[in-house]
Structure 1
Amino acid sequence: MKRIMIYMAVLLMGMSVSNGEAAAQEADEARIYTIVVDRFLNGNSGNDINVTDDEDAPLPFGGDFEGIQNNLDYIQGMGFDTLMLSPVFDRADDDYLGYDVESYGEIEAAFGGAEAFQNLIDAAHERDMEVVVDMPVTSTEGYATLANPVLNDLQQSYYDMIDAEFIDLNNADNQARYQQMAQTFVDEYDVDGLSMTVVQDGIDAGTFMPEGVTTYGIIPDASLSAEGFSHMSDPSMTDALAESFSTTDREIPAHPTDGTLLLADHWFTDRFTKHAVEENMFPGTRISQLTAYLYAYPGPIAFQYGTEVALNGDDIPHVHRQMDLWTDQEVVDYIESLHGVISQHPNMFEGEMDILKNEGGHYVQRYRTSDVDFILNLNDTSVTENVEIPIESQDEGKMLSGLLIGDLLRSGDMEGDAFLAVLDREEAELYAVIEERGFNNGYIYAGLIIFGGFGIFIWLVARKRRPGQE
């Protein structure tokens, strides 16, 4: 009976937004899945070099391009349209992360080499996915080196192990040489974008990055400044997201409006899961709430591999644990469902955003479009929250239809000139503001048939029983 009731609720909820209210266009906001190539999955053990099974050793585990390609269904199913790969260039055999570069002109053999790299790019492009590669600034022969790189603790720990020097990207000769190298790389493999983890203050990506690709600047330290990238992360925003969503009842930073790359962790930061564990919170719920916030952002986001299965760590190499596809399926299912809903309504990102409430972990935001407005209700508090959503002139005769949970707010659910929305703790709902409508008679008739048939079945079974039968 309970399953039947749930089924009927889903049927009735499904009527709330018709297919005609979803825009046909596709959103162009990048949804990036960042991958440490060696730490994802080993698709071909035949190219293993210096591989260990010791999870405490900063050595290769055997992950490769084929392992990523074999799981593009999994990655795309969660809504990611862009792969951001750790460096893919020829590197030292005992280096797993890829920044101990030996040659920028060769693709790492342990990852599968040039052919496997091209196969991965081609497979991604066939799915309308893009591939971004993180560009090291590790000095090789011919580059003038940087005297004082700015490194956080994780970077320092890693670079001390590989004893690396860095390219001075404010040096004109270095800029020209690096740009030519990067352009050749992009042209040869049809790479869609390049990222860079910045270690030098005051650089301008326009002087050393190639043309024709999207560029991302990952800024790990607040003392660093950079320009010229298509999008940059903001270290204070990264810290704020990790802090806000690690537990409940904390102020949530407003979505940026300048194209900032949003992320809660990267491969040179503590894992987001670590923050939740330190707060004695269930990581799955924390990750789901963070994801709802990120996916509702009309700009690029980066989501590190394994966050969806709560990989944890705060030092080298434990921030880069082996990927595990077979845990925390509930979180993966939630992300897939969230993506499914938002992908049907890409027009929600076409207009302006207004914050209706942002108080102690309760974040409510209206998305204004030329067709259907949307309202994000993100309750990241420890209690059930009410919020009055003002009814504007264009809302007259309309209702709020919940697309994630299925909450329906009709004209009878008003408090004065506002809809009264009630949301349980640690939940998120996305409403579409649509024309008021009654229940679909077809669904009602179907419900009567289902419940009526079930009642008749129970009555017939009862009649067959004889007094005294067990």
Structure 2
Amino acid sequence: MKKLVIYMAVLLAAIGISSPEASAQDKEPERIYTIIVDRFLNGNDTNDVNVTEDMDEAMPFGGDFAGIENNLEYIQEMGFDTLMLSPVFEKADDDYLGYSVESYEEIEAAFGGAEAFRSLIDAAHARDMEVVVDMPVTATTGYETLDDPELNDIQQSYYDSVQTEFIDLRNADNQARYQEMAQAFVNTYDVDGLSMNIVQDGLDAASFMPEGVKTYGIVEDESITAQGFDHMTDPAMRDAIVEAFSTTDTEIPDYPTDGSLLLADHWFTERFTTHAVEANMFPGKRISQLTAYFYGYPGAIAFQYGTEVAFSGDDIPEIHPQMDLWTDQEVVDYIVSINEVFSKHPQMYQGEREVIKNEGGHYVQRYHASDVDFILNINDSSVTKNVEIPMEDEDEGKMLSGLLIGDLLRSGDMEGDAFLAVLDREETELYAVIEERGFNNGYLYAGLLIFGGFGIFVWMAARRSRRR
């Protein structure tokens, strides 16, 4: 029912919103879906190696490239335009994550090998999706090793189990060799980007990453500094996001202006949902609010596989369960719905932004766009909230049309020179500032016909029953 209401609100609101074709600069921000290849879905069991049926073991589950390719539509419908894959290189048979690299020249056979990898990339590209692969810094023969990698507790536990040594990427010879290897990989398979879990301080991606692809630096520890990546995560920002959305009534962090990659968890962190469970909050609502916040960000965001079905856990291997596409779809449906709204208006991300309110879990921001302005209203508090949205000079004769819930604010809903918006607890609305319109007579007449006809039908059926 809620999904139907959302769709109807989008349909009605669209009547008053101009929808010009998006220009080249109106491209949506990157929305990345991160996947542990082995822990997604098994699309071809003929390549299974050391697969366990014990879900508590840190052993392979049989996930492969075919399992991902078979479900690209599912991922894309939620609005994700980029896949970020865990390492795909030849690895030890008992390692499921893929950082125990044995050869950077070969694609892991248990994932389907080079042919299945190419097939996945081609299928993603056919859908205008991009593929990013995480590049390990695992030392194979010929690399000088790093003595003191900086690892968090989850990384330490994992790397102790696979007994991996790391490449010293501040060594000039290592940089040249690694860059050549990475460039050959990119050229051979036509991947669109490379990511890296950074375990060494003071790195410059320009000295070892190849050219012609996007680069993403994943930082797990605040003590690590790096530069040269197109996008980097900020551990402090991740902590603030988790603290804000795992519960209610907590200040929501302002969107960064430095192009940071936003995420709430990654494959070497605890799951976001774990914090919501610990706070005795309903995970579905927490994930929905988090997603709405992410989709309002004009930069890149990363969303880990299974978050949409409330995976939880705080250590390996429980943080990487087998993907479940057959569980409750309420959150998935919500993500699909808000993606349909946000993706129709990429121009909202291009202009200036103004924070109207940020207090106790209530975050309101205005997007100044070239044609229609938008206002994002996130009430992540435990009570109904109201906010006065200042009316600007160009707002004269206009109204606020809600695109997610369907709330309509007209000139009569004003306090002085401001629209008065009221939003229920743990809800999000996106308003478009449009020309004020009266009731749509066509919809009014249609409604009268439908309900009038239904009333006549009920009356006639009752009359006929009495005669019998």
TM-score bracket, normalised by the shorter chain, equals: over 0.9
**3-state DSSP of counterpart to 1:222:** coil
Distance 1:231 1:334 in 2: 27
CA gap of 1:10–1:90, structure 2 versus 1, over 3 A, is closer
Deviation at residue 360 of structure 1 after TM alignment: 0.6
Distance 1:463 1:431 in 2: 47
Residue 18 (structure 1) aligned to one of 15, 21, 25: 15
Q: Quick check: 1:38–1:97 contact (8 Å CA) kept in 2?
A: yes
Quick one: percent identity of the two aligned structures? 72
Aligned position for 1:464: 464
Q: Quick check: 1:284–1:328 contact (8 Å CA) kept in 2?
A: no
Q: Quick check: 2:33–2:83 contact (8 Å CA) kept in 1?
A: yes
Q: Quick check: 1:22–1:347 contact (8 Å CA) kept in 2?
A: no
CA gap of 1:447–1:66, structure 2 versus 1, over 3 A, is same
Q: TM-score, normalised by structure 1?
A: 0.97
Q: Quick check: 1:33–1:305 contact (8 Å CA) kept in 2?
A: yes
Report the AA paired with residue 392 of structure 1.
E
Deviation at residue 248 of structure 1 after TM alignment: 0.3
**3-state DSSP of counterpart to 2:412:** helix
Q: Quick check: 1:15–1:440 contact (8 Å CA) kept in 2?
A: no
Q: What are the Cα deviations for residues 381-429 of structure 1, in whole angstroms up to 9, with x where unaligned?
A: 0000000100010100000000000000000111111101000000000
Q: Does 1:167 align with 2:175?
A: no
Name the Cα RMSD after superposition. Answer: 1.6
Deviation at residue 20 of structure 1 after TM alignment: 5.9
Q: What are the Cα deviations for residues 98-139 of structure 1, in whole angstroms up to 9, with x where unaligned?
A: 000000000000000000000000000000000000000010
**3-state DSSP of counterpart to 1:68:** helix
Deviation at residue 466 of structure 1 after TM alignment: 2.8
What does residue range 408-427 of structure 1 map to in structure 2 within 5 Å? 408-427=408-427
Q: What are the Cα deviations for residues 279-317 of structure 1, in whole angstroms up to 9, with x where unaligned?
A: 011100000000000011000000000000001111111
Aligned position for 1:185: 185
Q: What are the Cα deviations for residues 28-60 of structure 1, in whole angstroms up to 9, with x where unaligned?
A: 411000000000000000000011011111110
What does residue range 299-310 of structure 1 map to in structure 2 within 5 Å? 299-310=299-310
Q: Which runs of 5+ in 2 are unaligned?
A: none
Deviation at residue 363 of structure 1 after TM alignment: 0.3
Report the AA paired with residue 167 of structure 1.
I
**3-state DSSP of counterpart to 1:58:** coil
Aligned position for 2:379: 379
**3-state DSSP of counterpart to 1:320:** coil
Distance 2:7 2:85 in 1: 39
**3-state DSSP of counterpart to 2:145:** coil
**3-state DSSP of counterpart to 2:437:** coil
Deviation at residue 457 of structure 1 after TM alignment: 1.2
Q: What are the Cα deviations for residues 71-122 of structure 1, in whole angstroms up to 9, with x where unaligned?
A: 0010001000000000000000010000000000000000000000000000
Q: Which runs of 5+ in 1 are unaligned?
A: none
Report the AA paired with residue 18 of structure 2.
E
Aligned position for 1:35: 35
Distance 1:373 1:432 in 2: 6
Distance 1:13 1:163 in 2: 53
Aligned length: 465
Q: What are the Cα deviations for residues 140-171 of structure 1, in whole angstroms up to 9, with x where unaligned?
A: 00000111100000000000001111000000
CA gap of 1:290–1:220, structure 2 versus 1, over 3 A, is same
Distance 2:81 2:115 in 1: 22
Deviation at residue 338 of structure 1 after TM alignment: 0.6
Report the AA paired with residue 130 of structure 2.
E
Deviation at residue 14 of structure 1 after TM alignment: 2.8
What does residue range 105-184 of structure 1 map to in structure 2 within 5 Å? 105-184=105-184
**3-state DSSP of counterpart to 1:318:** coil
Aligned position for 2:348: 348
Distance 2:328 2:464 in 1: 46
Q: TM-score, normalised by structure 2?
A: 0.97
What does residue range 53-452 of structure 1 map to in structure 2 within 5 Å? 53-452=53-452
Deviation at residue 266 of structure 1 after TM alignment: 0.2
Deviation at residue 328 of structure 1 after TM alignment: 2.5
Distance 1:31 1:8 in 2: 25
Distance 1:180 1:226 in 2: 21
